[in-house]
Each structure stands twice: as structure tokens, then as C-alpha cells.
Amino acid sequence: MMEDAVLAGARLFDGERFFDGHALIVEKGRVKAVVPEAEISGRDGISRLGGGILAPGFIDVQVNGGGGRLLNNDPSPETFAVIARAHRRYGTTALLPTLITDTRSVTQSAIAAAIEASKAGEGVLGIHLEGPHLAPSRRGAHLAEFMRPMEEEDVQQLLRAAEKMPVVHVTVAAEQVRPEQVKRLSDGGVIVSLGHTDCTCEAAQRLFAAGARGVTHLFNAMSGLSHRAPGLVGAALDAGGIWAGIIADGHHVDPVALRVAHRAKRGPGKLFHVTDAMALVGSGAESFDLNGRTVRREPGEICSKLVLEDGTLAGSDLDMASAVRFGVEALELSLEESLKMASSYPATYLGIGEERGSLRPGALADCVHLGDDLRVRQVWLTGRAQ
């Protein structure tokens, strides 16, 4: 996109509401204004989109791989870039590549690579460390032998990382951390989320009070909601300031449970879309290696699913545009709400709402053009057509 360009001819969603008959003016990679199309008549540099929806680029808080690459298998700046490019074709313009439970050396390599990748202008916001401080009883596809309690060295490593990149996000189990550690991390700019845990509702509430602000893939790999033991699910839905990612792919959580969760979630915290995507998104391969185990693709309705040999779900084959469609088609969400769950909500959760997640003046011009079928037609990254 040229400097001072104009996008017109589509319904415009600015991250909060729809505008009909309006155009987006972009200048130097940022949104300059949203104006009625009558005000741009006769102007040069207008790109006519021919219908559909122009919306903020999607933001994915949890993405393990893409384009045939898995972060754990090659924690390098190049892998971060490949993952970002693979997901961009599906409307994702900013993301947190996610390292699942691994060794100290792999974790250190991933943090170093994230620091470099976050400066490259590819939409990499930083890193999400999903482990190793998780509960073996809720390991999912993670390797239990690498799981361990958080130590002072880990706290210092995360605090140093938060000084060097825009976002450091860590998923921890209540069994493996202490409230004072969570408070130090939160005070130091690290976003702490609870997940892969069998904790009680009360244990979760203590960590929320200490500064944890999110829950990782609600319902999956955590203590569930029952009438006398609300667990982490109950704590997350009841705590107003807590945000939670959901994997809306038709495999990880039954749509009935997600519809109930949407109706039950106390605000201002919201549920938002994540993909938890693995290496096969944006790739023609049918399997990949995860810590020496084969993960294979199986057919599904909305998207295929990824499983280990024993049938355990191992991340997803989901992209963000598919999650938005699933929200509308299966979860009975308004299009406005499902788009917010892919853009403004994760931006607010990550504390980057001034820069991303909207098409309001001053925000980065990260945009996605969707057809009426909600499939991606075009993506722009800081005003540049991709």
C-alpha cells in the first residue's frame, strides 16, 4: 500500500462497531481516519475492495507453529518469521509464537530468538511460554518429565525477557508457582495465565489476586466446573477481570460448553479466540514430530484435528479466520463479537490496544479483508499489502 492510501468499498469494522459506506485512510503505516466515502470522491490512490468486510488484523495469543515449522523443534528467529508468514494468509497480523514444555536450554534459545524476531516487523509480539511450570496430571500432549516448579532463576529469566520485547506471556499451573512469584512477574510486566492445572477454585482465586490475568485454552487441561467444586473453569468465568482463550475448532470443546461459557462469563474480562495451531497450518504435510512423537492430521468438519498415536489432541489445525467463522456458525455469536474475539479482545488482554486490534486513528494499519463467506481475500501489515 502506498503512503496516504485509501481502502474503500467494503463494510468497515473498526474493532468496536461497523460502518457502512465508509473508507479507511492510511498514512505512513497507520490509520489516519475513517471517513464517509463521499469525502474521498475523486481522490487518487483509492483501492476498491468490491464488497465484504474490512476489519482489524487478527491477534493470536497462542500459536505453536505453522508453515511446516514447530517452535519447539527449531527455536530460531527464522522459525518465528515462518510461523508469522504462514498465519498471515489467514488474517493474523500479530501473534505470540508459543513454546510448549521443554528443556531449560530450548527455553533459553526460544527467548533469545523471540527478542530478535520481535524487532523484525513480521508481527511477532514476543513469546508465549506454555510450560514447563505445569501439572503432570494435566499434561495433555506435553512431556511430564520436563515439568517442574518455578524457581528464582526462572523468575529472573522472565523478568529480563520482559524488558527486551513487547510481550512475554507465561502459562503456569497453580501447583507449580507461589502467589509471590506471580506478583513479581505481573509487577515486572509478564502476563501470567493459568492452565494445565488441577487446582481448586480457591487456589486459582489466590493467583488471580496476586496478578494472574488470564486462563489458557478454557476447559482444556484444567479442573472442570462441578456444583461443589467450581475448579479453574468456574473461577475463570466468575472472575470479572480475568480473560480466557478458547480453541473454537469443534474438537477441543463442545460448542454447547462454549455457548454456556460465553453467556456466563463475567466482565470486563472476555473470552477470545486462539488457535493453539501446530506446524501443519499453512503446510501440505499430514504429520510432524513433537518431542520424538508423531502427530498426525485427521479430517474434521470445521477443520481437521491433530492427534498423537494414542488419540490425545496435540494442538490444533485451526486458523483465526476459521475460528471467527466457527464463532458465528456454531457458537451463535454475532459477527461483531466473533471479530472482536480475534482482534480487540486479545489486544486489550495483552495491553497493546493502543497500537493493534482496531482501525481507529493512530493504530497500526494491520487489516484483513474478508469476503461475505468470511474467508480471507487480502491482508495488510502496517499498511503494506501482503
Options 14, 102, 154, 276, the catalytic residue: 276
CB-based burial label for 13 (10 Å; 0-12, 13-18, 19+): buried
Q: What is the rounded end-to-end Cα distance, in angstroms, of the chain?
A: 9
238 is catalytic: no
Q: Is the dihedral of CA 213, 219, 222, 225 positive or negative?
A: positive
C-alpha span between 233 and 356 (Å, rounded): 28
Gyration radius of the chain's alpha carbons: 20
Please tell me the distance from the alpha carbon of residue 39 to that of residue 201, in angstroms, as a whole number.
54
Q: Read off the amino acid at residue 360.
A: R
Residues 172 and 166: their CA atoms lie apart, in Å, by 20
Q: Are strands 287-290 and 92-100 parallel, antiparallel or unpaired?
A: unpaired
Asked whether the bond before 299 is cis by omega within 30 degrees of 0, the reply is no
Which residues lie closer than 8 Å to 350 by C-beta, 6 or more apart? 59, 61, 96, 125, 167, 169, 191
Q: Provide the 8-state DSSP code for 16.
A: S
Strand order across the 191-194 sheet: 58-63, 92-100, 126-130, 167-172, 191-194, 214-215, 243-246, 271-273
What b/e sequence results for 338-355 when a residue is b if at least 16 CB atoms lie within 10 Å of its CB, and e otherwise? Answer: bbbbbbbbbbbbbebbeb
The residue behind cell 527455553 is 107
Beta-carbon-side half-sphere exposure of residue 45 (alpha carbons within 13 Å): 10
Query: What angle do helix axes 231-238 and 201-210 make, rounded to 10 degrees?
Result: 50
Dist CA 132 CA 184 (whole Å)? 18
Residues known to be catalytic? 276
